[in-house]
Amino acid sequence: MRKLFFLFILSQCFLLSGFYFQRGNQNVEYDNPALYPQVLLTFLGVQYPSENKAVTEHVLNNYSKSHPNILVSYEWIPLRTYPCILKKRIRSNSLDDVFMLSLDSRYQLPEGVLADLSSLPTLAAYRQQVLAQMRKGDTIPYVTTSLGAFGLFCNLNMLERNRLKVPQTLDEFLAACAAFHRIGITPLAVTRECLRALLIARAYEPVVFGDANAFFHSLNTDEAFLRRTLLRGFLFLALLRDKEYFDVDDLVLIRENMPGMFFSAGEQPFMIGGSWFSPVLGKAQSAFRFSVFPLPVTSQGAVTVLGLDTPLSVSSRSEHVPQAVQLVEGLTSPENILIFNDGQGGFSPLKNAPLPADKAVHPLWKSMDAGRGIFHSDIRLRYNLWHRLDSGIELILSGASAEEATESVIQALRDAQQGKEGKQS
């Protein structure tokens, strides 16, 4: 029965992924047959599990109706291969007119490749903390249509049966995990990406409860400070591993980012996951109640780990920059952002945005709205730490110490910096 339920959850992941139907990548064109288009815009995007093809078609079709002289041709690439494909197009000077900017590419793009989007009128509706994450000097080289958020999925039925409340602090979280572990239940479902989010939430505590600017300045300039920060996060992961609060053997076998099988079947009390998991579980009509809360990994309270999930850029080398910017303006309008995010687990980047349609993620959204959000790839960092954490996490899963994991990430950052300097020389 458990396997059948998990297969249903998996099928919903594929249905919500939407941008391709077993036929692989493809270019999809929208045009008005009554008027042959005069301008062709190409659009390259990342195929995220939470996005929905019907929503994107709706938005692009509305744009096409308003601009019948423009044809928009788009291509969606799986996340694992997207950075490589984007880099190749950058090197070959064949960037699409509009494209999603991968996090890794943000640190490698030559100057002048991205058009400045700071004149977009739709930016007036954005949250200030989101605008800060998109600003580079006096320019805005990309704008996002959604925020992804990592939180703690809680099986409310299991908590009630065991007379436990939703944990709000680190001590409460560890106590709840210990209570379930004592009765033979592995309390926590995680994936590798979710371990990254846990580490960031634990290590970046000063971003929410201290001086964020001073914190990032020290990360950028003081390797000893960086080492202490990483060690705090890896010590937390090593503690969860050593206490057997998550199943290392299962995690080693899991490569895809999907809801945990045992949590989905109602057999685990907690799961660390992205907000985009919520509609998958909701659609499955699980036999238990769940909600998504901020991560209770600090002594001062719970925090939400955020990411700019769909950052859009315009190539400055495009032959149709004004039309491409106009398309981005349409995609970032409040009504289209609402359509794009509602019910799909994405959070609106706009101020005064209504609560998401998915009630299960309301506690997580309220944490972000209250200013308790940490961007895992904060613009103030001079390097891509988020993806460099992988080497350390693999060591944690193999049984290595937190110190060994920390040094692995430090070395990965050094190697990346040396590679960047080598290309520039």
DSSP codes, 187-237: -EE--HHHHHHHHHHHHTHHHHHS-HHHHHHHHHH-HHHHHHHHHHHHHHH
**In a domain? residue 410:** yes
Buried/exposed 185-202: b ≥16 CB within 10 Å, e otherwise? bbbbbbbbbbbbbbbbbb
Helix, strand, coil distribution of the chain in percent, nearest 5: 50, 15, 35
Tell me how long the chain is. Answer: 425
How far out from the chain centre does Cα 22 lie? 24
pLDDT at 7: 41
On whether both 63 and 173 belong to a single domain, the answer is no
Of 295, 353, 346, 1, the C-alpha closest to 147 is 346
Domain final position from 363, 388, 409: 363
Give, for 50, the enclosing helix (H) or strand (E). none
Domain of residue 75, residue span: 39-148+308-363
What distances in angstroms separate CA 5 from CA 9, 12, 54, 150, 285, one per listed residue? Answer: 6, 11, 25, 24, 10
**What gap in Å lies between CA 188 and CA 177, rounded to an integer?**
8
Residue 383 in tokens: 């390097």
On whether both 188 and 295 belong to a single domain, the answer is yes
**In a domain? residue 6:** no
On whether both 204 and 157 belong to a single domain, the answer is yes
| pLDDT tens-digit series, residues 132-186 | 999 998 999 999 999 999 999 999 999 999 999 999 999 999 999 999 999 999 9
**In a domain? residue 103:** yes
On whether both 293 and 162 belong to a single domain, the answer is yes
On whether both 154 and 266 belong to a single domain, the answer is yes
pLDDT at 253: 60
pLDDT at 309: 87
DSSP 344: T
**What gap in Å lies between CA 416 and CA 275, rounded to an integer?**
30
Q: State the angle between helix axes of 192-203 and 223-242 in degrees (0 to 180), rounded to the nearest 10.
A: 120
Of 412, 406, 391, the C-alpha closest to 226 is 406
pLDDT at 15: 38
The answer to whether the CB of 52 falls within 8 A of the CB of 18 is yes
On whether both 283 and 404 belong to a single domain, the answer is yes
On whether both 77 and 220 belong to a single domain, the answer is no
**In a domain? residue 372:** no
Q: How many CB atoms lie within 10 A of CB 178?
A: 12
pLDDT at 391: 96
On whether both 128 and 162 belong to a single domain, the answer is no
**In a domain? residue 99:** yes
On whether both 124 and 155 belong to a single domain, the answer is no
**In a domain? residue 20:** no
**In a domain? residue 1:** no
Q: What pTM value is reported for the model?
A: 0.87
Could you state, in chain order, the average pLDDT of each consecutive group of 10 residues for the chain (425 residues)?
44 39 38 62 76 65 81 84 88 91 76 93 96 94 95 97 97 98 96 95 95 96 97 98 93 63 91 90 85 96 94 94 94 90 86 92 95 95 92 96 98 83 48
Residue 217 in tokens: 């300045």
Buried/exposed 127-151: b ≥16 CB within 10 Å, e otherwise? beebbebbeeeeebbbbbbbbbbbb
What is the number of structural domains in the chain?
2
The answer to whether the CB of 20 falls within 8 A of the CB of 79 is no
**What gap in Å lies between CA 79 and CA 179, rounded to an integer?**
38
On whether both 386 and 333 belong to a single domain, the answer is no
pLDDT at 53: 58
163 backbone φψ class: left, alpha, beta (φ>0; ψ -120 to 50): left
Q: What is the CATH number of the domain that holds 120?
A: 3.40.190.10
pLDDT at 420: 59
pLDDT at 188: 96
On whether both 265 and 407 belong to a single domain, the answer is yes
On whether both 57 and 192 belong to a single domain, the answer is no
**In a domain? residue 114:** yes
| pLDDT tens-digit series, residues 89-113 | 988 889 999 999 877 677 777 788 9
Collapsed DSSP state (helix, strand, coil) of residue 264? helix
